[in-house]
Structure 1
């Protein structure tokens, strides 16, 4: 059990705001992850790679467009019940809209720069699945946390609230959110596959269709026959290589139809310093020049393929995306890992590779009793999953 005295320990007293009174307890708002006692982080986020060290990484390297807060909820006996990281951002509400509507919004912003934008408080992580760091039961925690988030938003004059990218497996635990005015939307799911095969060849033979196998083998013959050949190096740190790989990452990130967070150079440099041994950097070279890059997390038997970079001058010619996928699976099998997880987007080829969608939900609410009915009515039209042509054909898998 975490004692009240430990729970209230802080390292930066001036970052602790006045407490938020709740119906059955209270909450405190912290500006920095380091202001919260390590025992709290251990009790709430030690089962995920998005832990204390990761939030420190975000604070230090991703501050241009985001502010971070941490809600710590207590019961009436000063016992901590939950820790919830928050992201404060000005959200482009057209980010996941259709092309025609996005073009209309872009024209309107020529005269009204903030048109269809809103300051939002997002409960969850900047990237990846959201999580509530619960110490108490969900029945007790979630209603109080939702109340604390709304009180915080009112104090900060923030209108829109969201619980961002929470796994569909948490729907029962979060069901009370819909009772108190939130609308649930399908977010952009990640994808995953269990590595319960002994080799990449066995994976192709047992998992893929005949047409996909034939197509992949043709792609790999082209890539493997390249001259000069492709080579792969796996690193724990890329401080010396960052000038080579960061442009590759930007080339992919900036061409996406859906624009969200673009990580800074410092994000990739500082990650292994804050969480040693957790990350790997895979760099594919041709004639010494970096042509592809993958930034991965290794955690609890899973390799998370977080971010990719490609040299588009040869990426299609040499089928670099498929090469990176093959080589990552081969490496993971050699390391004895049990699961491969991929970031969202690029859904069509990933589904042909038999990766499985991992549904996530976004719960959205406006704190205004007048505006929230409108949000609930119109928000489904901007449901992220519906903006992707491939996902629209698989919405039944996200229900």
Structure 2
């Protein structure tokens, strides 16, 4: 239990939240609600230590439940060549060489959110985290506190963190494609002459190839043995890695939160 000027923060495990109504309300308006966080904890094997901060005010009212996790971060992630080889050799004797225990606020697989159900509580929760996280990190021997991949909509609420030494650093961008066109012809007309010519050539070539079929499903379980090796192949080519999704993760997404899941599968016969 960690007191702060406006209330108290209690550290809970997932098992303690199972029958907690506040946990089901937390994140209820987000794309990734409480069920997603449970899936991440139960299906990913990334060395994450998951905990949940229940934030109460002095009246005993629960204002938020904030997911957090500890991870031992590799400080040479993405480094290649001789340096990586030297570090690998040293780690055979000292496995934690050039690693750091980090307290992450947010989600282990995706962008982070504040665990509130009332948006008006965001400033209160931000101040509670500002007052308690450094204490919590010290208690657990974490050297760094990171709000992982929080989108820009939280900048106003989280500005209070600057006074405690936090800094905002750009993360890997989320991908969003704005479709401002009524139909294909309108979009095609906005392209340059050279691009339109190139696309027509590619379309003619595609017409001579076997058809590409697209299927949209909410549960990818029947296809997991086909798609999972493709995911791993792409994942292993990346120089920067954080979490590795598992087959169990994909199963659970489709079976536990199907109304929030869409899988697009393309096949060429």
Normalised TM-score (structure 1):
0.60
| Stretch deviating more after TM superposition (57-66 or 29-38) | 29-38
Write the mapping of 1:342-357 to structure 2, written as runs, cut at 5 A: none
> CA separation in 2, counterparts of 1:73 and 1:130?
17
Is the contact between residue 124 and residue 164 of structure 1 (CA under 8 Å) also seen in structure 2? yes
Partner of 2:83: 104
Is the contact between residue 26 and residue 34 of structure 2 (CA under 8 Å) also seen in structure 1? no
Is the contact between residue 105 and residue 148 of structure 2 (CA under 8 Å) also seen in structure 1? yes
Q: Which of 262, 267, 274 lines up with 2:244 in the alignment?
A: 262
> CA separation in 2, counterparts of 1:65 and 1:221?
49
Change (3 A) 1:283 1:92: same
Is the contact between residue 33 and residue 56 of structure 1 (CA under 8 Å) also seen in structure 2? no
Change (3 A) 1:220 1:20: farther
SS of aligned partner of 1:193: coil
SS of aligned partner of 2:156: coil
Partner of 1:162: 146
SS of aligned partner of 1:178: helix
* Structure 2 residue ranges without an equivalent (≥5): none
Q: CA deviation at 1:48?
A: 1.1
Partner of 1:321: none
Partner of 2:57: 75
Change (3 A) 1:67 1:205: farther
SS of aligned partner of 2:149: strand
| Stretch deviating more after TM superposition (35-44 or 67-76) | 35-44
Partner of 2:205: 222
Write the mapping of 1:53-92 to structure 2, written as runs, cut at 5 A: 53-92=35-74
Q: Which of 226, 246, 250 lines up with 2:228 in the alignment?
A: 246
| Stretch deviating more after TM superposition (209-218 or 63-72) | 209-218
Partner of 1:190: 174
> CA separation in 2, counterparts of 1:217 and 1:114?
55
Partner of 2:11: 29
Q: CA deviation at 1:36?
A: 5.5
Q: CA deviation at 1:199?
A: 2.5
More helix, by proportion: 2
SS of aligned partner of 1:223: helix
Partner of 1:171: 155
Q: CA deviation at 1:212?
A: 4.3
> CA separation in 2, counterparts of 1:106 and 1:82?
44
Partner of 1:149: 133
> CA separation in 1, counterparts of 2:198 and 2:162?
45
Q: CA deviation at 1:246?
A: 0.6
Q: CA deviation at 1:23?
A: 3.3
Q: CA deviation at 1:205?
A: 2.9
> CA separation in 1, counterparts of 2:214 and 2:267?
6
| Stretch deviating more after TM superposition (191-200 or 153-162) | 191-200
Is the contact between residue 40 and residue 109 of structure 2 (CA under 8 Å) also seen in structure 1? no
Q: CA deviation at 1:215?
A: 4.0
Q: Which of 165, 190, 196 lines up with 1:181 in the alignment?
A: 165
> CA separation in 2, counterparts of 1:67 and 1:114?
17
Structure 1 position 125 matched with structure 2 position 107: yes
> CA separation in 2, counterparts of 1:133 and 1:122?
14
Q: CA deviation at 1:58?
A: 0.7
* Structure 1 residue ranges without an equivalent (≥5): 1-18, 288-399
More strand, by proportion: 1
Change (3 A) 1:240 1:54: same
Q: CA deviation at 1:60?
A: 1.8
How many residues align structurally?
264
Is the contact between residue 223 and residue 230 of structure 1 (CA under 8 Å) also seen in structure 2? no
Q: CA deviation at 1:155?
A: 2.0
> CA separation in 2, counterparts of 1:209 and 1:171?
38
Deviations 1:295-320 (A, max 9, x none): xxxxxxxxxxxxxxxxxxxxxxxxxx
Write the mapping of 1:259-338 to structure 2, written as runs, cut at 5 A: 259-287=241-269
Q: CA deviation at 1:40?
A: 2.0
Is the contact between residue 73 and residue 148 of structure 1 (CA under 8 Å) also seen in structure 2? no
